[in-house]
Structure 1
Amino acid sequence: MKDAIYFYKEDGENNIVLVSSYNEGDVRGVIFKPPVILERIINDFPKAKDNLYVLIDGVVFKLKT
């Protein structure tokens, strides 16, 4: 199991909103979260709108919100 860290950026800081674990072969499920999960993150953290990222194995991906 590995961790994926979801965060948004503000004032040069990375603000963590969610940490989830995934199996090594299931990276697609980490990057392509169901829309309801993304909506919940945006509702709880409005600054993450169009500003949401995920860190996987040292690589940062910007998510489409």
Structure 2
Amino acid sequence: MSKIKVTAADGLRVPTEHNPHEYIGQEPVEVDGNSLYYRRMIDDGDLVVVEDTAPNTKTRNAKGE
């Protein structure tokens, strides 16, 4: 299960997959990237994938530089 961060497109609130009374808004939310529901919402333009802004520490070389 791969996790991705998404937000709703401007002006939209998108129901979550397992709770239709809980919505994804403008704050980034981590969801299952393999879910057909979320993949369809991304393809339709209702959800937008957000890139992680935290620095990636896994890209450092073996010497720690």
Fold shared by both chains (TM-score > 0.5): no
**If each structure's helix is expressed as a fraction of its own residues, which one has the higher value?**
1
TM-score normalised by length of structure 2: 0.29
TM-score normalised by length of structure 1: 0.29
